[in-house]
Structure 1
Amino acid sequence: MTQLHHTFDFDPTHGYSPEALNAIRPPEAPPGFDATWSARYAKALTLDPRPVLKPSQESHPDWTVHDIAYSSTDNITIHGWLLVPRHGVVTRGMVIGHGYGGREAPEFDVPVENTAILFPCFRGLSRSASPPISPNSAWHVLHDIDKPKRYIIGGCVEDLWLAVSALIALFPQVHDKVGYSGISFGGGLGALGIPFDSRIDRGMLEVPTFGNRPLWLKLPCIGSARSVQLYARRHPEVVETLRMYDAAIAATRIRVPMIAAVALFDPAVAPACQFSVANALPKNDYNQIFILDAGHFDYPDNAAQHKALKDRVRDHFRAS
């Protein structure tokens, strides 16, 4: 393992060797896990997303850029961007989720072709600000955490499913040909959402959060997990709620080709929690685990490793 210099008051590897990380397995699912998520998905599918497009101030020579709004659950409107390739024919769709910092603009260097890409801002964040939901990740992650069926993470997964519905409404030919890619917060949402949405045919999760909640609540960190850790000290009953929102448990149900990019060192999402998600994926010829030196942290080989990851992602989403 590369030794990285840092000023945190804890070890962002938490003492796990690569061998120990590879040995981690997800927790057992709580009763009703599959039934609960399947019911949420079925209900989300009954909604008409009614996507609305407007010209965007963003522009790019390879993409026609639209501002997009669509309807999600709880009467919330989700805003974001839609990229349509200027050249070629749209044969696939892709939803790209953001980290807990939100999203201020679309990405134009996504390594895909003939693909319409939807960049949603999940409820309460960035373009999808929705008071009284806080746009601050430390408070956003606590919104309705005391109401197991209303906890905001579930609503954000529904935003993901409705993003897929919006893409299909605009491009019916991409039905069953939609990919999902998410980082950190968006990676955790992807792990929770992909196994229950048969329209998503492959995915990529980078440094995903919400995996292995018992460890997630225990290992020192910064960011949103820290907020929940502090809350759990005063409200230990929240542990039962979080079992139903465990990305590692959900990942055991994923049956489509996946890439999991996970870090050996990460101050915001404990590596053990990331590897819990990656290791939960079925072992087969098409699932891949890509190891990064660090996540949520700059490091010497960052550019080179992410270039290699992008090459892997290009091949992954092309192979369909």
Structure 2
Amino acid sequence: MPLPEPYDAWFPDAPIDGTYGYDLDTLLAVEPAPAPAGFAELWQGWFTASRAVRPEPRLTSLGRQGAHDLYELEHTGAGGLRLRGWLALPSDGAARVGVVHGHGYGGRDAPDFARVPDDAAVVFPVARGLGALNVGAGAPDNAAEHVVHGIDSVETYALGRCAVDLWHAADALVEIAGDLPLYYTGASFGAIGVLAVPWDRRFVGATFVVPSFGQYDVRLDLECTGSGEAVRRYVAEHPEARDVLRYFDTSTAAGYLRVPVRCECALWDAAVPPPGQFAVANAVTAAAAARAGGSACPTLELEALPAGHADYPGDQDVDARAALATRAHIARCLAG
């Protein structure tokens, strides 16, 4: 079957139709996965337990980069694991917000300040096992192995441990920069922030870009070129793992968000199928409708990207505008 326009011209050799037969209307109708028993209690319990861990940050100065003074950071993560990442502080003046900046499954080899305001303190955590800094620490460095590491148990699954590590990275930032309001941004694998943000009231907003791990009821039926393919194949051989995954579905967690959220979801994405991405955004919409007029009501700013995890004509302009939109979203979240 021929690919739909303009993807037939953009990706003529694509092995998969990255639309999966969805258009914007049908993507907006994808329902989030319902919460399994004890979902909120599990995550709230993990957050409460994380409060007892001291981050014990250590900094190594790397000089100035743009508007920030940059440091390599080492801090304590879940289970006492020492993890490394980067931390940056405004070179001129005090920070007015702290940004926790997640990354994709390619790991992170250097900080990227495109979405970071000049007056923000920012931590760039690197997930256990990944990137140049944490290879060999707590999980495999291969994405296909990492995404199923520990999947036999809710308590050991890598995605959960990485999400908990985000709280510890935030703790390190706060210990160094002071008690700041926090904002999360992350792309693809960085959607583990959706699992972490709802339970941590320090966060005042978030941006999730082409979020992964959403709506496994749909995702597990769709072949893809990303890490989800390893999960799909694993669950086909080990169906009991499906019960574990229910506690790490980002479309479920998004229903517990209480802050303004910006979602950038792709209409085409062969690596992270679009229905899973839009399920995360749709969960925020549903949560907002359910709490309309009440306190802690989330809001959604949704941008439908032409494609995700792919180069296409005009993508650099799209990325630049999206980065500015996140900066503007941070400003609105701080303004209340």
Question: For this structure pair, what is the TM-score category when the shorter chain's length is used for normalisation?
Answer: over 0.9
**Are the equivalent residues in 2 in contact too, given 1:60–1:108 (CA < 8 A)?**
no
Q: Secondary structure at the match of 1:55?
A: strand
Match of 1:298 in 2: 311
8 Å contact from structure 1 (residues 184, 206) kept in 2? yes
SS in 2 for 1:173: coil
Q: Secondary structure at the match of 2:179?
A: helix
Secondary structure of the structure 1 residue equivalent to 2:28: helix
1:19-168 maps to which residues of 2 (within 5 A)? 19-56=25-62, 59-126=64-131, 127-131=133-137, 133-168=139-174
Provide the C-alpha distance between the structure 2 equivalents of 1:314 and 1:228, rounded to a whole number of angstroms. Answer: 34
Post-superposition offset of 1:182: 0.4
CA distance in 1, matches of 2:319, 2:282: 21
**Worse-superposed segment, 2-11 or 309-318:** 2-11
Corresponding residue number in structure 1 for 2:230: 227
The number of residue pairs the alignment matches comes to: 316
Question: How many angstroms does 1:111 deviate by?
Answer: 4.1
User: What letter corresponds to residue 16 of structure 2 in structure 1?
Assistant: F
Residue in 1 that maps onto 2:189: 185
8 Å CA contact 1:91, 1:173 repeated in 2: no
Q: CA RMSD in A?
A: 1.5
Report the CA distance shift for 1:173/1:244 in structure 2 as closer, same or farther (over 3 A).
Answer: closer
**Structure 2 CA distance, aligned partners of 1:132 and 1:195?**
25
TM-score by length of 1: 0.95
The equivalent residue for 2:274 is: 271
The one-letter amino acid of 1:258's match is: V
Residue pairs, 1:170-209, within 5 angstroms: 170-174=176-180, 177-187=181-191, 189-209=192-212
Distance 2:102 2:329 in 1: 17
Q: How many angstroms does 1:99 deviate by?
A: 0.1
Q: Distance in 2 between matches of 1:305 and 1:129?
A: 32
**Contact 2:226–2:271 (8 Å) recurs in 1:** yes
Distance 1:200 1:34, change over 3 A: same
Cα deviation for residue 263 of structure 1 reads 0.2
SS of 1:65 mapped into structure 2: strand
Distance of aligned partners of 1:197 and 1:132 in 2 relative to their CA distance in 1, 3 Å threshold: closer
Of the candidates 3, 11, 34, which is equivalent to residue 6 of structure 2? Answer: 3
The answer on 1:12 being equivalent to 2:23 is no
* Aligned-partner residue type, residue 92 of structure 2: H
Shift in CA distance, 60/171, structure 1 to aligned 2, threshold 3 Å: closer
- Per the TM alignment, residue 307 of structure 1 is displaced from its structure 2 partner at its CA by 2.2
**Contact 2:68 2:118 survives alignment (8 Å):** no
Query: Which amino acid in 2 is paired with 1:120?
Result: P
Q: 1:105 is matched by which residue type in structure 2?
A: A
Instruction: Describe the superposition over 1:78-105 as per-residue Cα deviations: whole angstroms up to 9, x where unpaired.
Output: 1111111111211210110000000000
Q: Which runs of 5+ in 2 are unaligned?
A: 290-297
Give the one of 233, 243, 246 matched to 1:243: 246
Cα pair 1:144 1:152 within 8 Å, conserved: yes
Cα deviation 1:107-126 (Å, max 9, x = unaligned)? 13334131101001011111
Sequence identity percentage:
34
Q: Report how far residue 131 of structure 1 moved.
A: 4.9
1:23 partner SS: coil
Aligned AA for 1:13?
T
Deviations 1:23-46 (A, max 9, x none): 111021110101111101111111
